Amino acid sequence: MLRASLAGFFARKDVRTVVGWLKEPVLSVLSVFVFVTVVTQPFYVPSGSMEPTLAIGDAVLAAKFPYGYSRYSIPFVAGPSPSSRFLGSLPKRGDVVVFRLPRDPSITYVKRAIGLPGDRIQMIAGRLWINGRQLPLRKADIGQDEMGDGSLLDVPIYIETLPGGREHPIFKRQWDGPLDNTPVFTVPDGNVFMMGDNRDDSLDSRVAAGDGGVGFVPAGNLIGPAFIALGSVDFLNADGLWDWPFQFRFSRVLAIVR
């Protein structure tokens, strides 16, 4: 009886019209939700801690599937961060990773994965050491570091080579800063050690969470690797929202993140 009533209700012309009108937007919303949950999600870069790799104002896409899924990989879902991930795997050294800040998961950070479980990480006189070996570093160019007031500072770019041969650029303008000499950090199981490419202007795993830094990042806080910049706006030098289109960085459109 109920099945026949429902069939009759949905057979009505006015109901079919409403269903047909709603079907496309509902499917569109569901498709977007599935896309940002399972495949990829955009994020905005508000600081210069990852210069020269990422610029202030970059909009980057992070892939969801390479590291598996956790509480923070799925939007609009409440609950504690799990210690493990569904279909989970850890980043590779050198991945540029979007993650939730362990001491305040409402904040999203992006840094480079430098240390994996069991690795011993240390800074000595501004040089990065992993497992007792100083990483190769060669000078490459001069870049422009954008300050918080929008001004530009010329800074040397160096190419750092991680164990395994993966290379990435860093900004380095001094060798005796507050984070240039550290104790040895041994990365715990299920955690990752993160650092910014702008080595003299990055709050990262070199500073413990209890001291206002990042500390070790649990696997459950990972969202995914950033792989492309969709575009970028130099909002620090814009006079207002109306000026943003004139501060668009066309050179950052579809820039691959390495």
Q: Is 89 a catalytic residue?
A: no
Q: Is 47 a catalytic residue?
A: no
Contact (Cβ atoms closer than 8 angstroms) between residue 64 and residue 226? no
Contact (Cβ atoms closer than 8 angstroms) between residue 150 and residue 236? yes
Considering the candidates 64, 70, 73, 111, report the single residue annotated as catalytic.
111
Burial class from Cβ neighbours inside 10 Å (0-12, 13-18, 19+) for residue 144 reads middle
3-state SS, one letter per residue, for the chain:
CHHHHHHHHHHCHHHHHHHHHHHHHHHHHHHHHHHHHHHEEEEECCCCCCCCCCCCCEEEEEECHHHCECHHHCCCCCCCCCCCCECCCCCCCCCEEEEECCCCCCCEEEEEEEECCCCEEEEECCEEEECCEECCEEEEEEEEEECCCCCEEEEEEEEEECCCCCEEEEECCCCCCCCCCCCCEECCCCEEEEECCECCCCCCCCCCHHHCCCCCEEHHHEEEEEEEEEEEECHHHCCCHHHHHHHECHHHCCEECC
When computed from its CA atoms, the radius of gyration of the chain, rounded to whole angstroms, is 22
The residues annotated with a catalytic role in the active site are 49, 111
